[in-house]
Amino acid sequence: MRRKLVAGNWKMHGSHTTNAELLSGIIGSGPYGCDVAVCVPFPYLSETAVTLARSQIRWGAQDCSKHEQGAYTGEVSVGMLVEFGCRYVIVGHSERRQFHAEGDQLVADKAKAALSRGVTPIVCVGETLAQREAGETESVVKRQLSAVIHTLGHCAGEMVVAYEPVWAIGTGRTATPEQAQAVHALLRAQLRAATPQADAMKILYGGSVKPDNASTLFGQADIDGGLIGGASLKASDFVAICRAAG
Ligand code: PGA
């Protein structure tokens, strides 16, 4: 049985005051029967690390540079994330792909940079509504994952994959458990062809996961938890989703 992971993706939300309230709500409702993490904006990593230090909750970032250091204004290296105790970093989120023109190879390079410093990349893949309607879901997610598998080589088994259909992110429109499971099964098959660790790997679902739909989604054979956006900003919702995972 794979242990589930529920990771909050705070996106560009938060403040000193609301973060403290949210984190104490999450800590106070533990322990959890699944792995729990929050991926916070860079400026809040420090306070998050201090607040969560003695808890079972892990933390991470939402992006990283593929470079170790250098003249890359505005970028943050994985080495810096390590200094703040990050366990995870999200790479290839559809909002990065869409608003920052990140392509498959850049996403793969970021995942490799993360693993090279012992930080687990949560690699996001997912199709747009137009791609789904054109019957391209399978080819899109396979192409996105294949770039990462190829670049990580024998380390591919160490990443976490997140399937996030773009049309379900922040829209309130969730993939049905069957739709999500079908794509997760495809991704698992692709991973099996690439690494002997495939059956131990976590494939998260993301896209409008809420307390009322989390348990059916997490009940699917190949869904190993969730990457949670909007509902990760309210302690009671996030806690309920963590409880649905175990
Ligand atoms: P959502 O976002 O839960 O608000 O749909 C998920 C994500 O973008 O990771």
Distance from residue 140's CA to the centre of ligand 1 (Å): 19
Residue 174: the pLDDT is: 87
Catalytic positions, please? 93, 164
pTM of the model as a whole: 0.98
pLDDT in tens, 130-164: 999 999 999 999 999 999 999 999 999 999 999 99
Token pair, residue 142, equals 């396979």
Compute the average pLDDT of residues 102-112: 98
Residues 6 or more apart whose Cβ sits within 8 Å of residue 134: none
State the chain's mean pLDDT as an integer: 97
Our answer on whether the CB atom of 165 is closer than 6 Å to any ligand 1 atom is no
How would you classify the pairing of strands 5-9 and 35-39? parallel
- Cα-only R_g, the chain: 17
pLDDT in tens, 30-47: 999 999 999 999 999 999
Burial 153-182 (b: 16+ CB within 10 A, else e): eeebbbbbbbbbbbbbbeeeebbebeebbe
Find where tokens 């997140």 sit.
162
Looking at the CA of residue 169, tell me the nearest atom of ligand 1: 5
Residue 36 DSSP one-character state? E
Residue 112: the pLDDT is: 98
Looking at the CA of residue 9, tell me the nearest atom of ligand 1: 9
Q: Tell me the C-alpha distance between 205 and 109, whole Å.
A: 22
Q: Is 15 exposed, middle or buried (0-12, 13-18, 19+ CB in 10 A)?
A: exposed
Residue 172: the pLDDT is: 83
Q: What percent of the chain has pLDDT over 70?
A: 100
Going along the chain from its start, the domains and CATH numbers come out as 5-245 (3.20.20.70)
Residue 12: the pLDDT is: 98
Distance from residue 206's CA to the centre of ligand 1 (Å): 6
Residue 159: the pLDDT is: 98
Q: How many CB atoms lie within 10 A of CB 213?
A: 19
pLDDT in tens, 158-212: 999 999 999 999 888 888 999 999 999 999 999 999 999 999 999 999 999 999 9
Compute the average pLDDT of residues 209-227: 98
Residue 173: the pLDDT is: 86
Q: With contact defined as beta carbons under 8 Å apart, do 48 and 23 qualify? A: yes
Compute the average pLDDT of residues 232-246: 98
- List C-alpha distances in Å: 152 to 128, 185, 235: 25, 21, 35
Q: Collect contacts of 195-202 with beta carbons under 8 A, ≥24 apart.
A: 195/149, 195/154, 195/156, 195/157, 196/157, 197/156, 197/157, 197/158, 198/157, 199/2, 200/2, 200/157, 201/2, 201/157, 201/159, 201/160, 201/161, 202/2, 202/4, 202/5, 202/160, 202/161
Closest CA to 232 of 29, 4, 10, 5: 10
Our answer on whether the CB atom of 237 is closer than 6 Å to any ligand 1 atom is no
